[in-house]
Structure 1
Amino acid sequence: MRNGLVAVVALVALSATACGQTGDEGDWRRPAHAGRTATAAVSHPGAPASALSAPREARSPAELAARLTTAERVSRDPSSARPVAAQAGFEAQVLYRQLAGRPRWMRPVVGAVPVALRATVRLHIRARRAFRTMHHTLSRTLPSWRIVAPASEPALLAFYREGERRFGVPWQVLAAVNLVETGMGRIRGTSVAGARGPMQFMPGTWAAYGRGDIDDPHDAILAAARYLAHNGGGRGKIDQALFAYNRSRLYVRGVEAYAAILHASPAALRGLYDWQVVYLSRRGDVWLPVGYARTSPAGTSAYLRRHPERLLSRSTR
């Protein structure tokens, strides 16, 4: 089940300890003006790239904490307008990526966000650092992928819950794997190891555990649940099952962190659903929006000359 996408979308802001809800959670999630955010409004993530605004990085820990709190609140609030929530999810993703790369900012940021959000912030950074560590070599070129709009959030949640009901694998784990592997189905392409589909199955593994269409999100998510259950995930052995899925302890740590975030607050799925595909290149973090398509790798510099706004942060390496 090895794949070549994991470090890209973990994006995943883009990792496992359990984090419980606290009584004041509602105070920070639902202010009087929950539909407002510091970034521009956008349309549904399946819309053209021009509908989304590339979030800028924060200039200080205080700014990052304030913007992250707003982004998390707005993205989770069901009363937020769909365009505003989508932008908020993207904003949180970019801020988590920035924070993971600035260890000295971690303490002041955690101290400045609401108490109920602190465990979530720590888990996000755990995930981001785990996946970043897995990505040893930065590419000069962009991948030969197509980026497409994913299935709707309600549909995906129904598929995750069906997987849990039928095979005993927690839906949060299935959602985390789907997020890490392909940004919940946004990435269409074959990995360097030959894996395919929203849950990145190798052909032989799909032949044994798949039913239906490897590229169909419903079929792929149920196949992942079937495979994880076979390896102990349906009996509570999540570590063992995830290690069978991708033989990296860092992978297990990252996926379990995202699952823990969802376990503590299922509403967090709304924000994670809106995370974009962000590719870590030698130039830095490059946003590949819905509509991106390459049949062969393109130079990062050439792409950024045409789309300079899609360089979200510059590489420090």
Structure 2
Amino acid sequence: MRDRRLAVVLAVALAAGVGACGGTGYAEGARAGERGAAPSAQAAGSGTRAAAEAPRPDQPIPGSAAALARTLARNETELRAAIDAWVRDGDPGKGRPPEPVVLHALYQQRIYRHLARDPGLSARVTDRLPSRLARDVRAEVAALRDLFALTRPISGPVRFKVREPEPADVLLKHFRRAERRFGVDWEVLAAVMFSETKFGRVRSPSHTGALGPMQFMPRTWAAYGMGGNVHDTGDAIMGAANYLKASGTPRDYKKALFAYNHSNRYVNAVWTHARQMMRDRRNFYAYYNWQVFVLTTKGDRRLTGPGL
């Protein structure tokens, strides 16, 4: 897909982070067409109650490992319940996600960014978590560290084009259509788009000229874009599936992902995201709600989401 590069777009999109969603008390989704579990009993609570309990955009992160472990586990549970309610009562194919989903997802993201930057704290927190959640936390924190390693802090003014992504289930239809045509698991396509542009939120080209929601170099797009528009979400996802198929999927996903971006850290992170979505489709809905942060020489700056 691209030569080795330290793209400015990666400093925005990859710095946005990842989040584990394997909280305690949740059944894992089925692997094939039935991926995703039934709504939990807790999700039956009223939207008003869920909104009242949702964290603020600037909610403090607890300082002690014990308090942070409790907060993380509780937020995972509440995020899953909010996603269940959204899927059951709303329509992820239309409009914006409900506020509880957005706020719990943002808090989850901020916690994981915090843990990824403090290995000692991360170890103390995971030691206090239930085994399944601890497993997912370790995997996702490692993925986030890999993505951080691919970024370079930006100095000077931050000028990036961002926008709201297409509705979650609209994206899911694009991914599944590409899966049917090329045999590339939709979760892998979703993980690539998540890592590259946070599901299309980042609209700026890279400094090397990579374009669109799946970040194609023009010559690669000419070869694999099948005459489509690189900026069109459906066309870009189809082109990415075409490229990954030509690069080795489904025989060797890691080889194909390395062709997409020549970095083992990138491959490991994207594969972790894909496997999380394979375990439970609700992980896709959680990832969908991660916001865009830019890593600057003065610290993180959030570009999208509530409270801006």
CA 67–142 in structure 1, closer or farther in 2 if over 3 Å, else same: farther
Q: Under a length normalisation based on structure 1, what TM-score does the superposition of the two structures give?
A: 0.78
Instruction: Give the secondary-structure state (helix, strand or coil) at the position aligned to 1:286.
Output: strand
Q: How does 1:236-255 map to 2 (within 5 A)?
A: 236-255=251-270
**C-alpha contact 1:39 1:87 (8 A) present in aligned 2:** yes
Q: In the superposition, relative to structure 1, how do residues 111 and 191 fare at CA in structure 2: closer, same or farther (>3 Å)?
A: same
Deviation at 1:133, TM superposition (A): 1.4
Q: Which of residues 114, 124, 129 in structure 2 aligns to 1:108?
A: 124
In structure 1, distance between residues paired with 2:140 and 2:262: 21
- State the SS of the aligned residue for 1:10: helix
Change (3 A) 1:89 1:55: same
Count of aligned pairs: 274
Does residue 82 (structure 1) correspond to residue 98 (structure 2)? The answer is yes
Q: Could you tell me how far 1:30 is from its partner in structure 2?
A: 4.2
Aligned-residue CA RMSD (Å):
2.7
- Of 60, 64, 74 in structure 2, the residue corresponding to residue 60 of structure 1 is 64
Distance 1:285 1:14, change over 3 A: farther
Please state how far the C-alpha of 1:159 moved relative to its aligned partner: 1.1
Per the TM alignment, residue 120 of structure 1 is displaced from its structure 2 partner at its CA by 1.7
Pair 1:178-2:184 in alignment: no
Aligned partner of 1:13 in structure 2 is 17
Structure 1 residues without counterparts, runs of 5 or longer: 41-52, 292-308, 311-317
Match of 1:122 among 135, 138, 142: 138
**Offset at 1:38?**
4.5
- 1:290, distance to aligned residue in structure 2 (A): 6.0
Change (3 A) 1:123 1:12: farther
Q: Once the two structures are superposed, what CA deviation does each residue of 1:200-258 show, in whole Å capped at 9, x if it has no partner? A: 0111111111142211111111111110111012x331111011111111111111111
Name the amino acid aligned to 1:97.
R
Please name the residue that 1:225 is paired with.
Answer: 241
Deviation at 1:141, TM superposition (A): 2.4
1:134-175 Cα shifts (integer Å, max 9, x gaps) = 22x322124432110000000111111112111111111111
Distance verdict in 2 for CA 1:5–1:31, change over 3 Å: farther
Alpha-carbon separation, structure 1, partners of 2:193 and 2:150: 18
Indicate whether 1:149 and 2:164 are aligned: yes
- The structure with the greater share of residues assigned to strand is 1
Q: CA separation in 1, counterparts of 2:224 and 2:279? A: 30
Is the contact between residue 24 and residue 77 of structure 2 (CA under 8 Å) also seen in structure 1? no
* TM, length-normalised to structure 2: 0.81
Cα-to-partner distance string for 1:71-97 (whole Å, 9 max, x where unaligned): 323333321581101111111111110
AA of the residue aligned to 1:124: E
Letter in 2 for 1:61: A
Q: Distance in 1 between matches of 2:146 and 2:208?
A: 20
Flag the structure with more relative contact order, 1 or 2, with Cα contacts below 8 A and sequence separation at least 6.
2
CA gap of 1:11–1:272, structure 2 versus 1, over 3 A, is farther
Say whether the 8 Å CA contact 2:54–2:103 is kept in structure 1: no
Shift of 1:192: 0.9
Report the Cα distance in structure 2 between the residues aligned to 1:104 and 1:117, rounded to whole angstroms.
18
Contact 1:163/1:225 (<8 A) preserved: yes
Hey, what's the Cα distance between the residues in 1 that align with 2:24 and 2:104?
A: 24
Equivalent position to 1:257, from 257, 262, 272: 272
Which secondary structure does the structure 1 equivalent of 2:63 belong to? coil
Counterpart for residue 50 of structure 1: none
Report the secondary structure of 2:127's partner residue. helix
Q: Indicate yes or no: 2:273 matched with 1:275.
A: no
Percent identical pairs in the alignment equals 33
SS at match of 1:279: strand
Q: Structure 2: how far apart are the matches of 1:113 and 1:12?
A: 24
Give ranges in structure 2 of 5+ residues lacking alignment. Answer: 29-38, 87-96
